[in-house]
Amino acid sequence: METKMERNQDSISIWAADLGNGNFRNPVIYADYSDPDVVRVGEDFYMTASSFNSSPGLPILHSKDLVNWQIIAHAVDRLPGGYDNVVRHGDGVWAPSIRFHDGKFWIYFSAPDEGIYMTTAEEPKGPWSPLHLVKEVKGWIDPCPFWDEDGEAYLIHAFAKSRTGIKHKLKLCRMSADGKELLDDGEVIFDGEADHPTMEGPKLYKRNGYYYIFAPAGGVPTGWQTILRSRSITGPYEDKIVLHQGDTEINGPHQGGYVELSSGESWFVHFQDREAYGRIVHLQPIRWENDWPVMGIDSNDDGIGEPVLVHKKPDVGRDWPITVPTTSDEFESPSLGLQWQWQANWKTSWYSLKDSPGKLRLYAEPLPIGVSTLYHTPNVLCQKLPAPALTATAKLTFQPGTTWDRAGFTVFGHEYRYMVMSQDEERFLLTYVQGKGSKEGSEEEILEKIELPAGVSTVYFKVTIVLEAECSFAYSLDGEHFVLIGDRFTAVPGGWVGAKLGLFCLQQQGQPGGGYVDVDWFRVKEQ
C-alpha cells in the first residue's frame, strides 16, 4: 500500500484540459460548475458558478490562462435562513454573475424563492461580505449587474416560470450606484418567445459603443447562444445566434461569460449539460465581425459557430503549469478541502480534522425529525464527479456508539446507491442500498448485506465509474483485494446538479451516541 507521503508525491491523474503542446481540449473542467461566469482582473481570471443547496457555496476558481483552473475559495459560507438542517434540492444559489468594479469584486445571484443577493470582496479569496438582499422577490433569476460609463448602474435578469409564470423575457432595472438596491421594477427589454424561447442567463457588456447581452436560449440540453446588440441600454435590441451544436457532439451549448485578454483576444466560457456528469465547462474562441461576436468555429458553413474540441490556448504571454481542481484528499490540512460541500448549511458538530490528526472524523449526527433516507440527510459530504471515467477509493474506520449508527460512501443523485457500515451485536455489517428521491418524497431498499469478520472495523470503499456514468461498487478489508457488491448502477443527476461522490456518518434514531467514522484518505484517479 502507498503511504500518505508517497501519495502526496504522486501527481493526481484526473482530467486535464491542457494538452501540453500549446493546445487545449474541451471541456476545460470536466466537472459540474453550472452557469459559469468569469471576469479578468489584470492577468488573472476568476470564475464562479451555481452551487444550489450546497454549503459552502459560490465557488471561486482562479486561472492564469482560462484553461488551467484551481478552486481558491467560496464566497458563501452558509445560505440564508431556510437551509438549516433541511435539504432543499435544486434551490439556493442560482446562476451568479461576477464583476470587478470600483476596486472590488461583486457577485450577484438569485435564490429563486427568496430574492436577489449580493456579496463583495477586495480579494477573491475573501473575506466576502455577508449576503445583502438586494431585492426580496420570487422568481427573478440570473441577475447581472452593470455600471455604465456615465455612473448609472443597472441590473438585468430573467424569470423562472415555475415561480412567476413568465418565460423567455429579459428585464432591465435601474440600480443604486452602491449596488445595494433596485430603484425601480424595471422594463422588459427583450422577449424571446418567437425566436429564442427559454431565454435566460443574461450577461450585459459594453464594447465599441454597443451594449451586448449574451444569453442562451432553446433550453439547457438543446439550446444555443444568442447575442443581443443595441446602441441604447434600454434597446431596441438586434438578435443573432452565434453558437450552436451544429454537427458537433457538444449539446447546448449553454450560458456563460465573456472576457477580453490584454493580448486583444476574446473568449467565452460556457457549460454543456452532461447529465450525470453535470454541467461541465467549455472554452470557446471569439472573433469579431462588424461588431458581432463569432464564437467557436463555423465548421459546417451554416453561418453560426460550433464549439471547438481542440484549439490553441489563449494568448496570455506565457505558458502556465497544468493544474486541475482538487479532488483527492489526505485530510492533512487544518481545514476541509475546498472540493467538499455539504447538502445543507453545515454545522461544526458534523466533523473534525483535529480529533484524529491526519484524518477526517465524521460524527454520527442524528437524522432530523421526519428524515429516514440519505436523500434528505443534511450531513452528507460531497464532491463533484471530475472526469468521464474514474475510480474513487476511501479508507474508513468505524467506531459506532449505538447499533443505530451508520457510516458510508455514496454516488448520489435523484437515484443513488451507497455502501454503509453498521454494528449488530459484536460484528460489523456491510450493506448495499439503492435509493431514489424527489420533492415528493424518497425511498430506499437493501440490495445486499454482508457480515464482516469478527474484529474488523476498517473497510476500504471503492467505486469505479465508466462511460456513461456506469458505477460499480466494491469493498476491501486490506486495501488490495476488492470484492464487488450490489448491482451495476447508472448514475443520474440531482436537483439541477450532476451526480456526486459522498461520505457520511449518521444516527438513525435521532439520539446521539458518540459514534464516529475516521476517514484516513479519499483518492480519485482517472481511468
- Helix ranges, 291-383 (H): none
Rounded distance, CA 244 to CA 253, Å? 6
- Residue 413's SS3 state is coil
- In this structure, the chain runs to a length of 527
Residue 93 and residue 51 in contact, taking contact as beta carbons nearer than 8 Å: yes
Residue 330 and residue 8 in contact, taking contact as beta carbons nearer than 8 Å: yes
For the chain, the straight-line distance linking the first and the last C-alpha, in angstroms and rounded, comes to: 19
| H-helix or E-strand spanning residue 5 | helix 4-9
β-strand pairing of 310-312 with 470-476: unpaired
Helix, strand, coil fractions of the chain, as percent rounded to 5: 5, 50, 45
Q: Phi first, then psi: what are they for 302, rounded to 5°? A: -100, 5
Catalytic residue status for 200: yes
Rounded distance, CA 278 to CA 188, Å? 31
Rounded distance, CA 520 to CA 461, Å? 12
Order of strands, sheet of 37-41, starting from the edge strand that comes earlier in the sequence: 37-41, 44-48, 57-63, 69-76
CA angle 59–62–66, rounded 5-degree value: 120
| H-helix or E-strand spanning residue 290 | none
- Of the residues 200, 306, 329, 365, only one is catalytic, namely 200
Catalytic residue status for 102: no
Q: How far is CA 488 from the centre of its chain?
A: 25
Q: Phi first, then psi: what are they for 71, rounded to 5°? A: -80, 130
CB atoms closer than 10 angstroms to residue 183: 14
- Of the residues 35, 65, 114, 273, only one is catalytic, namely 35
Active-site residue set:
35, 200
